[in-house]
Structure 1
Amino acid sequence: MRAKSLLRALIAVLALAAAPSAARAEMLDKVSFGTNWVAEAEHGGFFQAVVDGTYKAYGLDVTIVPGGPNVNNRALLLAGRLDFFMSANTLQSFDAVANNVPVIAIAAMFQKDPQVLLAHPEAKVTKLEDLKPLTLFVSKEGVASYFQWLRSEYGFSEEKIKPYTFNAQPFLADRKSAMQGYVTSEPHLVEKQAGFKPTIILLADYGFNTYSTLIETRRDLTEKKPDLVQRFVDASVIGWYNYLYGDNKAANAMIKKLNPEMTDDLLMYSVATMKENGIVDSGDSLKDGIGAMSDERMASFFDKMVRAGVVKRDVDFKKAYSLRFINKGVGLNLRPKN
């Protein structure tokens, strides 16, 4: 009887191996992942995992749904039309708890938030505090979030703020001003547009220790399909290692196809800047792997946001995230040794 059972099992394995590729593809779990902006290098690891077959190797057929100014992918996640979403930062996770939104952060692809303030070289800014006398071009969202931290932790004044409309011209025209941006893009665009290298102050280096580019999903998915969630997280982590340290040409080609305004030089700049500043791979990720999070850091950022008046003290911030699917050292062998 045992011999017959083994024979049947062997026949089944051989039949699967010989099955047409289309039939095998049907066995992959279909997964949809929504980003929070148009395709760019800051999403590169996810595209990498698609084009190099990493998701497929983990049994997943992943469709990436780009975001944009008129796309609300987080709403699609809540409606069940997406399985995962790329959340901007930890504040969104805290806000979800405060408003009883049934989502949870399960991995943080960026150890550092890429938020920066740019200044003219003539302003002779060498540290964060040097920005205080300058006019600050800050967006409405920035005023409600990181600027409140600048006010509470460093004594910045709202009287210095002017609205930032994602147009660099007011900043370029005023040498006694500073402008918000992402370290991975705006410095490059300013240099291309105005011909000078701006001074860059990365807020993460001064204590603004939110995580960024988090993977978010519905709580029920982590409970009902934990294996699928784990496979998506692990494959995404490996995708990020390969995008940063391997051959990312195919991923960048996919990004440019989805976003024709993206250029090769900006993609190269963004990847180099992420590596130089440890945006993806630094801190806890050096020992726990990309995607790492910790209770201590979550508590630290929560306390800062409470002091800044951005988050209420009674929010149970520990419900905002889970460490279940991360900190396992996945992909550490893919980091270059030197």
Structure 2
Amino acid sequence: MMRRVLKRAAMIALAAAFTLHLRPAAAADTKITFVTDWKAEAEHGGFYEALALGLYKKAGLDVTIRQGGPGIDNMQLLAAGAVDFAIGSNSFGPLNLVQAGAHVVAVMAASQKDPQCLMTHPRPDIKSLADIKGKPVMIAAGSADTFFLWLKAKYGYSDSQIRPYTFNMAPFLVNKNAIQQGYISSEPYLVEQQGGFKPQVFLFADAGYPSYASLVMVSQTMIDAHPDVVQKFVDASIQGWYDYLHADPSPADKLIEKDDPDESDGVIAYAIKTMKAEGMIEGGDAAKLGIGAMTDARWKTFFDVMSKEGVYPANLDYKAGYTLRFVDKGLALAASH
């Protein structure tokens, strides 16, 4: 899900609201503010689980999770030093910040698959993403600069297809010809519940979309000054994700529903089931390297695809946007295999 860019005055006001900056909350605890990329949802479940079970606390971290939402640009908040950690929705985030000269780094990829998809009503003329070329597609404002670039490059989509999506599904539900973006782990369930039909769902990751999702991002300054804090946060988050998927997710779910009452038990249960079935958290490289895995090869693939299409200059130092220092250690791997 995408966010609009904040105006300077609004961002300053938001930054003031996020109290943080490595202040000792108790004798041995380091205070951390972590802002997500959207309203609280099961796709953030592992982080909420780590908070609910006291895994961050056990690591000496006093973590506050702040949910994102429309109009909150958490990448700008992180780049401005207004928060300590943030979730980057996809692989565009780190490279965009490199291009902008911001020293912000991805240290973990909670999701090996980006859950972004396109949905249609059941219809005989569309059986693949390729079939959507030339047809109107409802996407959020920021999506034109992220996954839609890949769709243009791979399938020949054009900007003339774009129609506005404002996170209200009513236009999709009532129009049998409508095509809309969504998360495979949530919107299809909502369509079935509210529309009474099962949509056709086309997951970008299954068609080769190389983006990671739910990237944990932090400033290079934090990494240089407090690498131990970064490692503790990553390790506790990884354990939180393992527990969320394999143990009792209800501690996290209670916190999620407290932050976002619209995230119902049914939506959460569907999301957890989908994340497991699709191998979103523990599939791909994570199956061998552990939850949170990232690889140089995967980042190179993403950069090569996007630079070839002119999204990034060929000489961009894309490796400055991530580090493998804190992941690929097989944490919680033995227990899940």
Give me the TM-score of the superposition, normalised by structure 1. 0.88
* Residue 74 of structure 1: aligned partner: 75
* Residue 219 of structure 2: aligned partner: 218
- Equivalent pair of 2:25/2:62 in contact (CA under 8 Å): no
Cα distance in 1 for residues equivalent to 2:68 and 2:92: 19
* Residue 184 of structure 2: aligned partner: 183
Shift of 1:133: 5.2
Cα distance in 2 for residues equivalent to 1:127 and 1:77: 37
1:292-321 Cα deviation digits (max 9, x unpaired): 011111011111112233222221101110
Greater C-alpha radius of gyration: 1
Shift of 1:180: 0.6
* Residue 273 of structure 2: aligned partner: 272
Cα distance in 2 for residues equivalent to 1:317 and 1:150: 21
Cα distance in 1 for residues equivalent to 2:161 and 2:25: 60
SS in 2 for 1:151: helix
Q: Which amino acid aligns with 1:259?
A: D
- Equivalent pair of 2:134/2:158 in contact (CA under 8 Å): no
* Residue 229 of structure 2: aligned partner: 228
* Residue 319 of structure 2: aligned partner: 318
Shift of 1:141: 1.7
Cα distance in 1 for residues equivalent to 2:134 and 2:25: 63
CA gap of 1:69–1:314, structure 2 versus 1, over 3 A, is same
Cα distance in 2 for residues equivalent to 1:68 and 1:142: 15
* Residue 305 of structure 1: aligned partner: 306
- Equivalent pair of 1:136/1:161 in contact (CA under 8 Å): yes
Cα distance in 2 for residues equivalent to 1:92 and 1:75: 10
1:34-89 Cα deviation digits (max 9, x unpaired): 11222111111001001112112222221112222243433333343422111111
Matched, 1:114 2:115: yes
Q: Which amino acid aligns with 2:48?
A: F
* Residue 168 of structure 1: aligned partner: 169
Identity across the alignment (%) = 43
Shift of 1:172: 2.5
Cα distance in 1 for residues equivalent to 2:82 and 2:318: 26
- Equivalent pair of 1:118/1:181 in contact (CA under 8 Å): yes
Aligned-pair Cα RMSD in Å: 1.9
Of 158-167 and 94-103, deviating more is: 158-167
Q: Which amino acid aligns with 1:195?
A: G
CA gap of 1:70–1:154, structure 2 versus 1, over 3 A, is closer
Cα distance in 2 for residues equivalent to 1:99 and 1:70: 20
SS in 2 for 1:63: strand
* Residue 38 of structure 1: aligned partner: 39
Cα distance in 1 for residues equivalent to 2:134 and 2:124: 10
Shift of 1:134: 3.4
* Residue 333 of structure 1: aligned partner: 334
Q: How does 1:9-20 map to 2 (within 5 A)?
A: none
SS in 1 for 2:81: coil
CA gap of 1:147–1:80, structure 2 versus 1, over 3 A, is closer
- Equivalent pair of 1:106/1:321 in contact (CA under 8 Å): yes
Unaligned 5+ runs, structure 2: 1-23
* Residue 16 of structure 2: aligned partner: none
SS in 1 for 2:123: helix
CA gap of 1:308–1:177, structure 2 versus 1, over 3 A, is farther
Of 98-107 and 176-185, deviating more is: 176-185
Equivalent residues, number:
314
Unaligned 5+ runs, structure 1: 1-22
Cα distance in 1 for residues equivalent to 2:114 and 2:323: 19
Shift of 1:102: 1.4
- Equivalent pair of 2:75/2:93 in contact (CA under 8 Å): no
Q: Which amino acid aligns with 2:118?
A: L
- Equivalent pair of 1:36/1:87 in contact (CA under 8 Å): yes
CA gap of 1:73–1:145, structure 2 versus 1, over 3 A, is closer
Question: Hey, which of these two has a bigger chunk of helix by percent?
Answer: 1
Of 82-91 and 163-172, deviating more is: 163-172
Shift of 1:24: 11
Cα distance in 1 for residues equivalent to 2:67 and 2:141: 23
Q: Which amino acid aligns with 1:122?
A: R
Shift of 1:258: 1.2
Cα distance in 2 for residues equivalent to 1:83 and 1:255: 20
SS in 2 for 1:122: coil
Of 305-314 and 215-224, deviating more is: 305-314
1:197-220 Cα deviation digits (max 9, x unpaired): 101100011111111110110101
Cα distance in 1 for residues equivalent to 2:87 and 2:161: 32
SS in 2 for 1:179: strand
CA gap of 1:178–1:258, structure 2 versus 1, over 3 A, is same
Cα distance in 2 for residues equivalent to 1:79 and 1:119: 39
Cα distance in 1 for residues equivalent to 2:259 and 2:175: 35
- Equivalent pair of 1:148/1:309 in contact (CA under 8 Å): no
* Residue 203 of structure 1: aligned partner: 204
Q: Which amino acid aligns with 1:243?
A: Y
Of 53-62 and 241-250, deviating more is: 53-62
